[in-house]
Amino acid sequence: MSDDDPVEAFVEGTVEPFDDADDGYDGPKARDMEAELRERTGSGGGDDVETEVGSETASAFWAAVIYVNAAVLLIALGPVVYALRGRAVVSAVLVAAGLVAFWRAYGVYREFDAEDADDGDDATESDEPADATDTDDDRDED
C-alpha cells in the first residue's frame, strides 16, 4: 500500500477520524431533538411521567390489538395457503376466521365506546334541544 492511503492510516491509528476543527463546513449541524422537545413542552422527560390507565381501558385496548393482529395474520395467510398448497377450503376458512376476528375487534371497540358514552353527561349526548323532538302532530302536518 502507499504511504498516503487514508484507510491504512486510520487502521493503524495515526489519523483522527473526526476533527473538532471547523473545516469551513456550512451545512446543517446535528441537533439534540429530545432536549428541544423537553424545552418546548416543559416536561422533564418521559421517565418521570406516570400515566394511570383504567383496567377496563387497558383490557379493551389489548383485546382489540390481539384481535386485529390475528385478523391480519389470518387474512394474509389464507391466500398464501391457496397459492402454495392449493387448498381452497383451508384458505377460505382462514380468511373467514380473519374477518370474524376483525368483526370481534370492532365489537370490542363498540362496547368500550358505549361504556364511555354511558359515563358522560346525558345533556352532551344529544345535539338537539329537549323541546325540539318530533311529535305525531308535527309529522302529520308535513
pLDDT score recorded for residue 37: 84
pLDDT score recorded for residue 128: 53
pLDDT score recorded for residue 85: 93
Residue range 98-131, pLDDT digits in tens: 999 999 999 999 998 888 777 765 544 445 555 5
Statement: residue 83 has pLDDT above 80: yes
Q: How far, in Å, CA of 65 to CA of 46, rounded?
A: 24
H or E, element range at 75: helix 55-85
Q: Give me the helix-helix angle, 88-119 and 55-85, nearest 10°.
A: 160
Handedness of CA 94, 98, 100, 101 (dihedral sign): positive
> Which DSSP symbol is given to 133?
-
Statement: residue 75 has pLDDT above 90: yes
Residue range 31-51, pLDDT digits in tens: 778 888 888 887 765 555 567
For residue 138, how many other CB atoms are within 10 A of its CB?
9
**Against a cut of 0.75, is the pTM above it?**
no
Per-domain boundaries in the chain: 55-117
